[in-house]
Amino acid sequence: MEDWWLVRDDAGHAGWMLAGRLDVDAPDEIAGYAEGQRIVGAYQIAKVVDPEATTPHHEVPEYVTVLSPPRAGLPFDFDQVRVFTWSRNHHRYETAFRLHPIQGFLPVKVTQVIAPGGSIPGFSFEIATGDNVSVDPDTGITKPVNPRTIHYIMNDTRVTRVGPDLAPIPIVHSAEDKAKAKAARPARKRK
């Protein structure tokens, strides 16, 4: 199986591209944290000011990213969500939030949420409620049969789950991950 992405350029032209030949435009500073995973999306969620940053106006963007294993034909779009915030003390990106392994689906929506004292950044995405997915016969796009939308907000460097769906998020391990974990366990001696 192959994964294809529908892409659109700045001029509005659209077309299908093979996912393995496509790189998501993510800053090198956070791409190094991918740990062998493929970055599916990197979305700017906020900006902070660091007087020692070398960026224009000393503003540094913060990101929510979604990643997947570097394999084609998976029944989900991503299996990991990470939020990278900028440390004003250490002048570098740090992981503020990480959720994995899940069965996540695009799109990731970045919003501003009204809160006491102003607005704060938020993001949401869909997850599968089980193994049941539907495949559109015309496009081949895979979607969960009964998706759940999960919402988070970010206040400074703290990421908090909010919204109507606060039920536990199913953590999903592949058969390959389970086999690796079993092989890594030390053998027990029998007496």
Rounded to the nearest angstrom, the gap between the alpha carbon of residue 152 and the centroid of all alpha carbons in its chain is: 12
Domain limits at 118?
25-184
Amino acid at 161: R
* Cβ-based neighbour number of residue 4 at 10 Å: 16
Does residue 7 belong to any structural domain of this protein?
A: no
Q: Poorest-confidence range of 54-68, 97-111, 118-132, 167-181?
A: 167-181
Please tell me the total count of domains within the chain: 1
Nearest CA-CA partner of 149 in 135, 129, 131: 129
Q: Express each pLDDT in 71-96 by its tens digit.
A: 888 888 999 999 999 999 988 999 99
Kindly report the pTM of this predicted structure. Answer: 0.82
Does residue 3 belong to any structural domain of this protein?
A: no
Nearest CA-CA partner of 116 in 153, 62, 86: 153
